[in-house]
Chain A
Amino acid sequence: NAGVTQTPKFQVLKTGQSMTLQCAQDMNHNSMYWYRQDPGMGLRLIYYSASEGTTDKGEVPNGYNVSRLNKREFSLRLESAAPSQTSVYFCASRGGIHQETQYFGPGTRLLVL
């Protein structure tokens, strides 16, 4: 039981390049989330997916797109990376005893030059 996994762990991009961050969970959770964490701040929601086939914008969606490929996988795409997107990206899924807890992946550190 791996929980939430993310790839890659670290990536360097040039401005204007594109990439996809991958996330998968094996806990059979319906809801999945993408957050970003900037220095000195808590996490902010980019996009979320309440269930397979649905996605919605969060607090900071500009410059990103997402795909809920199936129940397990939720990917985040940067079409044209900008330096302002330099951040640590966390994927999470929600479930657990209280059906409230969000469990996080290890994060992807992204540097856009």
Chain B
Amino acid sequence: AQKITQTQPGMFVQEKEAVTLDCTYDTSDPSYGLFWYKQPSSGEMIFLIYQGSYDQQNATEGRYSLNFQKARKSANLVISASQLGDSAMYFCAMRGHNQAGTALIFGKGTTLSVSS
């Protein structure tokens, strides 16, 4: 069965510092996709970054990068130069080949708090 594990319930960082949010996954499919979403206190789910299992390079989107280590089955999110607006819940998700085909399987999330 496919599974996403986020072991950090909460992370604290100061402005302008970099932070890494951990995510490990479990799947037996050779083809899969990995995603990170941000959920601020207002509640919406905001797509941040995507990594395909066959992508040779780690994905980057502005201040976000995904540290993809296939052999270790990890897909950590790195946020460089944290800002106060980065305070939110962050979810790692995987597109698996479950009964719902392309539906996403989510981890339980990590709450990031950025202080000045």
In contact, B100 and A56 (Cβ under 8 angstroms) = yes
- Contacts between chains A and B (CB distance < 8 A), count: 71
Task: State whether the Cβ of B106 lies closer than 8 Å to any Cβ in chain A.
Answer: yes
Q: Is A41's beta carbon under 8 Å from chain B?
A: yes
Interface of chain B, main secondary structure: strand
A43 lies within 8 A of B44 (CB): no
**By DSSP majority rule, is chain A's interface helix, strand, loop, or mixed?**
strand
Q: Which of B31-51 contact A (CB under 8 A)?
A: 33, 35, 37, 43-47, 50
A-B contact pairs, 23 of them (CB 8 A): A33-B100, A33-B104, A42-B91, A42-B108, A43-B91, A45-B100, A48-B101, A48-B102, A48-B103, A56-B99, A57-B99, A58-B100, A92-B45, A94-B102, A100-B35, A100-B50, A102-B47, A103-B47, A104-B37, A104-B44, A104-B46, A106-B43, A106-B44
